[in-house]
Structure 1
Amino acid sequence: MSSLRHWFAEDTASSDEYYSRPVPLHKRLGFKDPALIWTGFAIAYICAVIGGTIQTGLGMPNAIYAILLGNFTLFIYSSLLAYISGKWGLNFPLMVKAVFGAKGAIVPTLILAFLVTGWYAFQTWLTADILRAAFDLQQTAGLVAITILIGIVYAMPTVFGVKSMSKYMQIALPGMIIFALYYLFVKVVPAGSDILSRPGSGEMAFMTGVALTWSTFVVSGTMTGDIVRYTRSGTQAVGVTAVAFLLANSVFMLLGAFISAAINNPEVEYFFDSSSIFVVLPLVIVAFLSNGSTCDACLYNATMGFTNSFRNLTWRSAAVFGMTIGLIAAATGLIGNIVNFLILLGLLVPPIGGAIIADYYFIKQGRYFEPDEGLPFNWAAIVSVIAGVISGYYVNVAYPNFLFGVAGIAVTFAAYLILYSWFGSGSNRQQAVKSERDQETRAATVER
């Protein structure tokens, strides 16, 4: 029992994942490991499934255009946040504190922590549902038990930190490459050039397809600092983000669209168009590896938020807390409707990122970025985000052919700059002139 207490109480530099302070430069991992983690995060079975859903609704080639536009927009947005994290070594909760204030940051941090826990729950539920579809299982207590076991296995890399996640990816990535090659040469290539003109159902608007692409990673794209802060510079962080969205996620979503067009049967679940055990079993294994590499990264984001919101939680106890919530949601099927969940993400999350971008690049002009404990609430940022969420909801209802997440960012961005110019942040410290010596001291602090 004493060893178990020690396991939960452990809070050393190696186990706390720098959740309450910047990652010093000598502890950064460089480009490779963060890029590998983000690759495993973005090359997920669900991304291929969503790509197939977009193709079913839009047909070809509109599905291709929607996926590319959604991922490019997501890359631009996430890169602006990633650069800040890579330069200053800050995770997402610390960035939120630097903008919203020490107390004002709690609500937005918790909102994203619970939303990304929802992604962890969905991926766990999805894996169990893939097993159901593959082997014609019934919804019984046994399947619930399997769901819980899967979620526990998926959580282990997060519990033991970012290096364990990188090692897991070295196992999972080859399996996902085999999955891609199998469908490419067995289904897509034989279908020929006709695949590029496959019609869809016509039940999806083009911008809805873009929004589904965008929303798939808008939460973790906003929280990208939790991963890219381990790079050695802002430029490296942007490079990792390019790998995540312009390469990994775009390619896998496009693959899903091509597979869907090649199968050309909307009744087929999860691409299982064959009942042969020699096809089904390898695909189940790949789905398990793929979803696991996404699950651990989602839970990692959530754990970072929980540790910064609840001061008494250590890294490992916060990971177990998030895992427990996610397992309850997954086992009950609470989060099984992916489309509604993606719309919710697109409404709530982008305005928070918009406030951070406005604050760093236009208010602070890139000179400094650190939590100010003397600033409990930055009401200019808080009110701006509320305005962004409301405007995003209005655009989603009134103009379904417009990307409402971008509207939320734009309104938050403009509102924050206006409100800040009128009222400031409420902190004398942020109004003070920053001397060159102050900047050198902060840079040295990050590098220590």
Structure 2
Amino acid sequence: MSRHSTQPGEASPLDADHVLGEEYEHVPVPIAARHSLFSMVAVWAGFPMIITGSMTGSILVLGMGFSRALVAMILGNLIMFAYVGALGVSATKCGRNFALTASQVFGTKGYMLASGLLSTLLLGWFAVQTGITGALIASTYEMNYVAMSVVAGLLYIAITFIGVRGLHLIGLVSVPLFLVLGLFVVLHSASTTTFEAIWTYAGNNGVATMSMGVGLTVVIALFIDAGTVTADFNRWAKTGTHSLIATFSAFPLSNLVAMLVGGILTAALAVPNANPFGADNMFGYMNKMQIGWLSVLAFLFLYINLGSVCSHCLYNAATGWSRILHSRMRLLAVVLGIIGIAIAAGNVWAFFIQWLSLLGIVVPPIGMILLVEAYIFKNSGKIEKEWRSTPFISWAIGATVGFIVEFYAPQLSTAISAGMVAGVAHLALSSLKDRRSAAGASI
């Protein structure tokens, strides 16, 4: 019997999935339901082209100086393109979301650990970004912080509830708005100085304190969580080429643009001890000009722009948990969104940033293990085991190396080290296991 049956006592066929479209939480997306290239680009481009990305660009320039920060931005984004692009193409071929893909690698029960971790991390980032929205609005316009956070959270839940089409729609508004305002901020701030002064900006108070390894980690870590669950988005692409183009629109294009807006602004103004997460960002710059219409536009921009990243993060979190709990994405979007709003409105979101960043060390190994399985072992069959030990051992090895690098070799890139070690470990351990199995079968 159809899930939309009209038998007495059953739900109306006009439920959310029937009206807004199926989200395919538990099965692959069929080819007939895939989206156009334009839609995929709108979904991906609207994700990283955000004010948080420009704040990150400012942090990099403050710590490295402009020219070295630019190198870190470019290299880090190219690494993200290779990583997310490869995961995305694999997802496009099979049409499965991250949780379904992970169940083939970690086991029919083991996937819950990987998917649950990433979904929870992304819910945490939803809460953080919602809190940032409320904090910036409240401090700039002297409005109630809790009210502004709740309004933001409810708006972002509504966008997510629409589904992947909602991400497409918010991207169509957010990207052009960021490009116009970002270009205005860059040109206006750059007009106060010279190109040479921007290029030779040496860092906060003339001192560079961030190594290239740390800079690369900062770039990669900004979207490594969502990049690892890229299957949630790229399963909707019609072809591998569409998948790659959509990914490229995010990494390096959108993410690099966002970082450059913040980086150029910081180098041009050269404010001592600048605080990009306070008033020293493009939002604060527009409001400091004290132009009525520009302040109103900045207000709308902040809600729309951070609404893009928040809805993407909530979509990932709801998709993952819907599979684990055998529920629906839209229901989990509401439930998890309310939890995120409570965290944001409670003004405790700032305490989560360091914790979420630290947990991010364990994310790159997951993606590298999935890549080894997809491209080297060609794993596309059904996995009967509830728990597969080798991926978990490889994950633990990579994460351990990541933590060692974080605390004892900070000049290196934590994200790259953890991911590469996990990938090599998984390849070696799986090959050794296969040889032992073959030797046992030949006896």
Question: What TM-score does the superposition give when structure 1 sets the normalisation length?
Answer: 0.87
Give the secondary-structure state (helix, strand or coil) at the position aligned to 1:349: helix
Structure 1 partner of 2:162: 160
1:388 and 1:409 in contact (8 A); partners too = yes
Q: Alignment length, in residue pairs?
A: 418
Superposition pairs of residues 62-141 of structure 1, within 5 angstroms: 62-136=68-142
Q: Which amino acid aligns with 2:249?
A: V
- What residue is the counterpart of 1:317 in the other structure? 331
What is the deviation of 1:214? 0.7
Q: Which amino acid aligns with 1:93?
A: A
Counterpart pick for 2:310 among 290, 295, 299: 295
Equivalence for 1:149: 151
Q: How much has 1:12 moved relative to structure 2?
A: 5.1
Q: Do residues 224 (structure 1) and 230 (structure 2) align?
A: yes
Shift of 1:51: 0.7
Equivalents in 1 of 2:109, 2:328: separation in Å? 19
**Residue 249 (structure 2) aligns with:** 243
How far residue 87 of structure 1 moved from its aligned partner, in angstroms, is 1.4
Instruction: Find the counterpart in structure 2 of residue 171 from structure 1.
Output: 173
Deviation at 1:277, TM superposition (A): 4.3
Cα offset for 1:337? 5.5
Please list every run of 5 or more consecutive structure 2 residues that lacks an aligned counterpart in the other structure: 1-7
Determine which of 291, 295, 298 is the counterpart of 1:283.
298
Distance 2:191 2:48 in 1: 24
Q: What SS class does the counterpart of residue 191 from structure 1 fall into?
A: coil
**Alignment match, 1:435:** none
- Confirm or deny that 1:326 pairs with 2:340: yes
Sequence identity, in percent? Answer: 26
Is 2:374 the counterpart of 1:387? no
For residue 214 of structure 2, what is the aligned residue in structure 1? 208
Q: State the 1:235 CA deviation.
A: 2.5
Over the aligned positions, Cα root-mean-square deviation in angstroms equals 2.6
Q: Distance in 1 between matches of 2:256 and 2:430?
A: 37
Cα offset, 1:342, TM superposition: 5.9
CA distance in 2, matches of 1:307, 1:8: 20
The aligned residue for residue 19 of structure 1 is 25
* Aligned-partner Cα distance in 2 for 1:156–1:80: 31
Deviation (angstroms), 1:50: 1.0
Deviation digits for residues 151-181 of structure 1 (CA, Å, limit 9, x no counterpart): 0101112112111221222222222122112
Deviations 1:223-268 (A, max 9, x none): 1111111111223212211111111111111111001112221154
Match of 1:415 in 2: 425
Cα distance change on mapping 1:386 and 1:136 into 2, 3 Å: same
Question: Whole-Å Cα distance in 1 between the matches of residues 351 and 289 of structure 2?
Answer: 26
Q: Secondary structure at the match of 1:363?
A: coil
Equivalent residues in 2 for 1:329-408, closer than 5 Å: 329-336=343-350, 340-341=354-355, 343-364=357-378, 369-372=380-383, 374-408=384-418
Q: Deviations over 1:256-288 (max 9, x none)?
A: 100111222115433424151434332222121
2:35 equivalent in structure 1: 29
CA distance in 2, matches of 1:92, 1:306: 11
Assess if the C-alpha contact under 8 Å between 2:43 and 2:167 holds in 1. yes
What is the TM-score of this pair, normalised by structure 2? 0.88
Contact in 1 for aligned 2:107/2:387 (Cα 8 Å): yes
Is the Cα contact below 8 Å between 2:31 and 2:238 reproduced in 1?
yes
Contact 2:368 2:423 in 1 (8 A): yes
Match of 1:199 in 2: 202
SS in 1 for 2:215: helix
